[in-house]
Chain A
Amino acid sequence: MGRIDIICGLLAGAVSLLFYIGTLSFPDISIGINPRAYPLVIIVASFALSVLLIAQGAMKMRRKKALAKGGESDAAATRTLPRGKTAWYLVMLTAGMLAYALSMEDLGYIVVTPFLTALTMWLFGERKAFKIAIVSVLVSIVLYWIFRSVFRVPLPRSFIW
């Protein structure tokens, strides 16, 4: 967990720096409050917290090393990145959602939704092809009907549907 805290702290620090760079282009006008004042308070506090998290991470790593030398294990160090099949499943779902977001306006809601539904069903252990096909098409059609007909949401349609 220590290494993860350091990585998260570095990322948060980088975001704070990015926002600090953003303040450099602010106009030099002041109406009651300088436009830089409030953002700078937030940015400095975020940066300080990032440094604190990095320090806490380093301390955790040092403690973990000391425990390892003494032959003990650190119970807090269990949350790691997903591995193997689970990691692939997570990548597949994220890629599926990304493809969905990028293609829904071109291909139409009713065309792309069954694919994402089917993928999610498969990732949750459903293996019967017929059941996957029926449920994914039904879910998509029912939601399409509710949003398009009842709530009048203009869900994207394409030349296919």
Chain B
Amino acid sequence: MTGITEALVFVLTHIHFLIVGVAGGIIVGAIPGLSGSTGIILMLPFLIYIDPSAALIMMSGLFCGSMFGGSIAAVLISTPGTPSAAATVLDGYPLTKKGQAGKALGVALVASTAGGVISTLCLIFLAPELAKIALKFGPSEYFALMIFGLTIMASVSSASLTKGLLSGFFGLLLSMVGLNPTLGTERFTFGVIRLLTGFSMMPVLIGLFAISEVLLQVELFNDGKILRVSKKHKIGEIMPRGKELKGLWKVILGSSILGTIIGIIPATGGSIASFMAYNETKRFSKDPDSFGKGNLAGIAAPEAANNATTGGAMIPLITMGIPGDVVTSVMLGALMIIGVQPGPLLFTQSPQIVNNLFVGFFLAQFVMLGLGYLSIRASNLILKVPLGILYPIILCLCLLGAYSLGNSAYDVLLALIFGVIGYFMKKYGFSAPSVILGLILGPIAEQELGRALIISHGDWTVLFTSPLSIMFYVFAIMSVTYSLGLFNKKKKVV
């Protein structure tokens, strides 16, 4: 209990970081084109200079805030601010047309908060237990786990399975540049001394996610494809009445549990959870025909589910170092930059960081409730933020962030190169998160493979003897099969 009390004191004394994180999350979530992952990258230049625990709670706040923020654009302009808010458009926008945007956003806020609280409780109770199991992993189990983690790259790509996998393998190739982890010999540097240390995470993250987005937005802006708020929407009454909430509690509870479970499963994420929750709520509703016409349950279900995935997705991330979705992939990279290595050892070596995260994540939901209310009032203003000022600031922050970690213009150049690569990747359906997954998990997989084979004196069968390893290989096959099925389904729809 002392640990939790200490964590509570820590979070309360660092509450400003949580507030900035949640507020930043709501803003980046609300602006179409920006997302939680971009938000984390934009905060990176600041995160590296603050206490790792404070950085972690700031990122958690941003993660949760961006989930709710996505609903603002979804409800007001029928364009989801983040992919997770896509299902919210279905019933949110019809309410805006009826002049009840405030109520729609109010329901989204309450449902998001409830989803976040329930998933945080699961995080607090499940994560330590899972970490205890993960502590028993040897190199061969870790290698199998990394293989499972790498299969996520198939599902985080949206356009094509081949392109998603190719992107991931590009990340794996990049991860091999530098020194051999077992022998310490130089490899794939092609005579460039700078490459001896490999590609550092910061410029690659900034380039692939943020600079590429600025380039893409320049194109969309000049092609007239950016949807802007042309008129002020009537917000009206904000918080739902007690009677309305009473009718929604079952939907919120069910969707929150569904969202948490989906969040725990790697390779899923908020968008899958929100659509599943929406469909299930509609299926069990007494009045399914009212869905799509402004039914409050059609807003509560996806919003509770998508914010519930946040706590769920944190479970595999902090216990095993396996990201559950795009945002947690970026978060994993960010954690490594700030010196926090997620995994079971985090629970034994730095328990206070874990406790701070738990308390921070829990309080983030209530900070979101307060700031969310204010953001609904200011929603017209947030959506009208001038792009001519926003993107130059983003670009400056990106370049400054790339420079500040190593105090080197070489990193700025590297960020620019990866920015151009990321622009073409996004444009032609390749997956930037898959590159990051390959870049992060590749070296761990190689290191664990090396360890396992050194212990077994080069006997490769050691990789397939443990039941846990076999379980992870089965999960890996299931993950790829699931992605294949999903892509085939998409093809048929197209």
A-side residues, CB < 8 A to B, are: 1, 4-5, 8, 12, 15-16, 18-19, 22-23, 26-27, 29-33, 35, 38-39, 42-43, 45-46, 49-50, 52-53, 56, 75-76, 79, 82, 85-86, 89-90, 93-94, 97-98, 100-102, 104-105, 113, 116-118, 120-121, 123-126, 135-136, 139-140, 143, 147, 150-156
Contact = CB atoms under 8 A, between A and B. Distances in A.
B185 A86 contact: no
Contacts of A15: 170, 173
B464 interface: no
A85 B166 contact: no
A75 B493 CA distance: 13
B403 A104 contact: yes
A19 to B, nearest CB: 6
A86 B8 CA distance: 51
B49 interface: yes
Contacts of A136: 392
A35 B182 contact: yes
Nearest to A152: B49
A8 B187 contact: no
B389 interface: yes
Contact of B172 (A42, A75, A152): A42
B430 interface: yes
Contact of B428 (A33, A79, A93, A101): A79
Given A32-B454, A32-B458, A93 B218 contact: yes
A135 B392 contact: yes
Nearest to A76: B494
Nearest to B401: A147
Contact of A124 (B392, B409, B458): B392
A90 B215 contact: yes
B60 to A, nearest CB: 21
B428 A8 contact: yes
Interface in B159-176: 160, 162-163, 165-166, 169-170, 172-173, 176
A102 B413 contact: yes
Contacts of A123: 218, 221-222
A148 to B, nearest CB: 10
Given A116-B395, A140-B396, A151-B404, A124 B450 contact: no
B483 to A, nearest CB: 14
Contacts of B176: 19, 38-39, 42
Interface in B405-456: 407, 409, 412-413, 416, 419-420, 423, 427-430, 442, 446, 449-451, 453-456
Contacts of B180: 35
Contacts of B185: 26-27, 35
Contacts of B222: 85-86, 89, 123
A87 to B, nearest CB: 9
Contact of B427 (A12, A43, A79): A79
B334 to A, nearest CB: 16
A82 B130 CA distance: 48
A156 B428 CA distance: 36
Chain B, interface size category, equals 35 or more
A33 B165 contact: no
A98 B417 CA distance: 9
B387 interface: yes
Contacts of B449: 33, 38
B391 A120 contact: yes
A154 to B, nearest CB: 6
Q: Which of A12, A33, A116 has the most CB of B within 10 A?
A: A33
Contacts of A4: 428
A56 B180 CA distance: 34
B104 interface: no
B157 to A, nearest CB: 12
Contacts of B397: 143
Interface in B374-410: 386-389, 391-393, 395-397, 399-400, 403-404, 407, 409
B244 interface: no
Contacts of B136: none
In the A-B complex, the 3 residue pairs with the closest CB atoms: A32-B454, A126-B388, A32-B453
A79 B218 CA distance: 16
A15 B171 CA distance: 12
B98 interface: no
B226 to A, nearest CB: 10
Nearest to B173: A19
B467 to A, nearest CB: 23
Given A43-B173, A89-B218, A101 B183 contact: no
Q: Which of A5, A23, A38, A79 has the most CB of B within 10 A?
A: A38
B218 A124 contact: yes
A97 B411 CA distance: 12
B284 interface: no
A113 B396 CA distance: 7
B218 A53 contact: no
Given A12-B170, A101-B416, A124-B218, 20 more contacts: A23-B187, A27-B185, A32-B458, A46-B169, A49-B165, A56-B160, A82-B219, A82-B223, A89-B219, A90-B218, A90-B423, A104-B412, A117-B392, A117-B393, A121-B388, A121-B389, A124-B217, A139-B393, A147-B45, A153-B403
6 contacts: A42-B169, A50-B166, A53-B163, A90-B423, A93-B215, A101-B413
